[in-house]
Amino acid sequence: MKYKFTIKVWRYTLAAILSLITFQTHASDTLHVVTHNRLTVVTDPSQGNNRYKAWGVFPSKGEDIRSIKLKLRLGCPDSMRCADWDYKDHITIRRTGGKKGESQDLEIGRMLTPYGGAFGKDWTFDWEVDVTDFSLLLRDSVEIEYNHTGWEPNEDRGWTVTLDFEVVKGKPAWEPISIQKIYDGAYRYGDSANTIEKALKPTTFRADKNAAFARLRVVQTGHGMDKPDNCAEFCSKFREVYFDQKLIDRRDIWKKCGENPLYPQAGTWVYDRADWCPGDLMQPDLFDLPVKPGAQHTVDINMEDYTSSEPSADEYITAYIIQYKKPAAKNDVAITDIIRPSLKDAHRRQNPANAHPQIVVRNMGAAPVASMAISYGTKGYSKKKYTWTGNLQPAGYTVIALPGEIESSVGQNVFEVELQRPNGKKDKYSADNKMASTFRAAPRHEGTMVVYLMTNNQPEQNSYVLKDSEGNIVKERAAGTLKASTLYRDTVQLTQGKYEFLLEDTSGDGLEFWANPEGGRGKVRLLNRNGAMLQDFESDFGSSVRYAFEVGTPVAPVTDQTSFGLYPTRTTDTTTFDYYANLPHDVLVQIVTDPGDEVVLDQKYKQIKEGTFTYDLSHRPKGRFYLKVFVDGEEKFKKRIRLKE
């Protein structure tokens, strides 16, 4: 059968984060190349960037590589606090072939750091991006650079960075031939005297005689705040991609941030941005292009026409053409992620989960996939069977929602998935057809529950729904039915079964957001019949919070939960701290200067369970402070206060 190819666009929008603890591949030969291991990185304010280079030893050129995933972990340094600002960091291949080898200068990853001012000392977060497209270069000795940009102070704040390349050996789905950089830079946007189109010129490449297709891999983020539109960071503009003078893709360079799995953060983390969010490892846009061996082809990237009165915006774009031979197999699928159930950082908003598992599948073969069999279930329980039907094009990803409940025992469990018979045929490479994820069982509660909702000043933005595992609504407060600054205590009687609670905010800034003082502060909790807290939800949640649970036995014991709140955090005089706990504790509240940690308030409360306390800072000069809360001597809460700013 003659191999046919059409243009395919795969926008990798999944924040697929795989940790070593919670993820297990079934590939027979996996190598971890760790180039940066809890390396402390800080800014260089004199330069605006600080480069950290290290070497890694990858498989030799003669060894087959099936896939390479770059796992990135950020944490707080032992001797410092986490850094404050959302800076753009670059992960780059600098040299290949050893210290006397070839210089490359290829960006393979771009990390947008979070607002870390409120993170505790033990905070970490994991991200991941597939970098198999660079497998031609990730061979033998390779120098990898982590370039931390920014200008904030570097004496008392920073990050720890771990870069772990997970290399799965095995026959590649597509054998790479060459890699070519076609765009790389900060392209000024909005300057009528020097338009971006003058820089983003069409680029030509010649197809190799053995090439079946070429993959265009693009990473783009917008930065800067000009007039009149706050471009490029806070303006939505479209981008067009042309191949051989034909438009193959047009989309807005824009990303919603209210569903960021890393929340809350200290700054404006909920604001939508130019294709990125604070605390975000960029996922590339992938365009698979048909080529004619030996022929010349053209790629062109264009931005929407835009002119600024004070141009200062930049579109940071890196783009590569990777040429590949034809796929090794006709029928070949791979499972690349389990979204729910999971313990991965990327999927915190979807978990814990007790129904409707979700997986990510990629077509690794030459033929479109119209069907596949899927076996799945929790280890120790009977497996379920599901036949998926659809149209998954070669190299494409799809998220598959699997029917039914997720069985579990109390505590930690393992969920297993296996893909079988793509298009009713034998899969030609079965090593990546299985995956397992560790997960914690959703908690079990008694049948009487209270939904405690204190609305803020903008209740029209909020709604909640409580559903069973079949999607039937048990209780809801629909959008438009809530009143401002009102306490709702809705008691529900639930039969044995599995449920999920979902609270949404249409504005994407939760029940509280420091930059929206007119919104005020609200609160949502789930309580048992005696008023003890079963689940406390962070008010600064962005677009939504969800909670899956089960009614049945054994009932989870009421734990020693605590709830903290501080509002407003931008003030000219007073701020109010509220505290709630299921059991009494000794509580110490301190307000300290930032920087410097000078204690300006030190207040002790003996054996309290609940309280609301207002502190007057009007006598203090303009500046920033931290409110810290210690429960029985252990720091449990920290939030920044902006005074008179």
How far is Cα 36 from Cα 143, in angstroms, rounded to an integer?
11
The structural domain count of the chain equals 5
CATH of the domain at 592: 2.60.40.1930
Identify whether 22 is part of a domain: no
How far is Cα 348 from Cα 343, in angstroms, rounded to an integer?
7
Buried b (16+ CB within 10 A) or exposed e, 299-314: bbbbbeebebeebbbb
Tens digits of residue pLDDT in 297-332: 999 999 999 999 999 999 999 999 999 999 999 999
628 and 531 in one domain?
A: no
pTM score, two decimals? Answer: 0.92
Averaged pLDDT of the chain = 94
Identify whether 13 is part of a domain: no
pLDDT surpassing 90 at residue 465: yes
As given in the structure block, the two tokens for residue 90 are 């670059």
pLDDT band for position 28 (50/70/90)?
Answer: low
User: For 34-42, what is the mean pLDDT?
Assistant: 98
353 and 322 in one domain?
A: no
203 and 103 in one domain?
A: no
Query: Considering the chain, what percentage of its residues have pLDDT values greater than 90?
Result: 91
Identify whether 297 is part of a domain: yes
Domain boundary (517, 543, 559) is at 559
626 and 553 in one domain?
A: no
DSSP string, 14-80: ------TTTEEE--S-EEEEEEEEEEEE---TTTSEEEEEEEEEPPPTTS-EEEEEEEEEEE--TTS
Tens digits of residue pLDDT in 271-283: 999 999 999 999 9
pLDDT surpassing 80 at residue 109: yes
How far is Cα 316 from Cα 621, in angstroms, rounded to an integer?
39
Domain that holds residue 377: 333-440
133 and 238 in one domain?
A: no
469 and 349 in one domain?
A: no
CATH of the domain at 123: 2.60.120.230
3-state secondary structure of 350: helix
pLDDT at 125: 98
pLDDT at 10: 53
Domain boundary (559, 593, 628) is at 559
Identify whether 449 is part of a domain: yes
Taking 3-state DSSP, the helix, strand and coil percentages for the chain, each rounded to the nearest 5, stand at 5, 55, 45
CA distances (Å), origin 503, targets 179, 440, 463, 465: 46, 22, 6, 7
Identify whether 567 is part of a domain: yes
Tens digits of residue pLDDT in 391-443: 999 999 999 999 999 999 999 999 999 999 999 999 999 999 999 999 999 99
